[in-house]
Amino acid sequence: MRIVLVGPPGAGKGTQAHLLAKTLSIPHISTGDLFRANIGQGTPLGLEAKSYMDAGRLVPDEVTIGMAKDRMLQADAANGFLLDGFPRNLGQAKALDEFLVEQGIKLDGVLDLEVPEDEVVKRIAGRRLCRNDGGHVFHVDYNPSKAEGVCDECGGELYQRSDDTEEKVRTRLEVYHTETEPIIDYYRQQGLVEVIPALGKVDEVTQRAIEALKQDS
């Protein structure tokens, strides 16, 4: 099964991608992992991406597309994959379509995780991380620490990331609406989009996505 997962920041894409990929026994291919792997391994695409990043410039679409193509051609992706963070815009979506045609395969579905904008802001702006270990994550409403501003696990100071402020979150949402949302209409015209309400418990959202894919298959 070949799936694209889309949704605004704060929709839980990373969590759902991991769970869905595990359930469906297909690799989870995320843009972040692609960049880290290629840069870490010193591949030509990784070195090219790093040169742009070091200069504070955006990595061109063709570099991201090249990394995604290489990953989809690996043996573990022969029977399917779940794309998370790619394609990010119409140019990447069209390049993905061209690649799939060349390979004689097609997408089985595009899952659109839907979360109200105010909930996205609440989820992200309320997040607090431990300075001692960023892996300890709390939320002022959904998972508050016992003592305000103090990590339950190690007693470290909790802080809000600079890009997690409400103003920054709303800016990220504007970018999502401008750059990424158009691919949803693009895929909807192909009859591929399934809207998944992403409010509620994590396992409930996963089950909704699985049921939607079953209906499509």
Q: How far is CA 134 from CA 3, 31, 103, 137, in A?
A: 30, 21, 40, 7
Within 8 A by CB and 6+ apart from 45, the residues are 38, 63, 66, 67, 70
Give the catalytic positions in this structure: 13, 88, 127, 161, 172
- In 3-state terms, what secondary structure has residue 59? coil
Tell me how long the chain is: 217
User: By C-alpha distance, which of 105, 112, 91 is closest to 4?
Assistant: 112
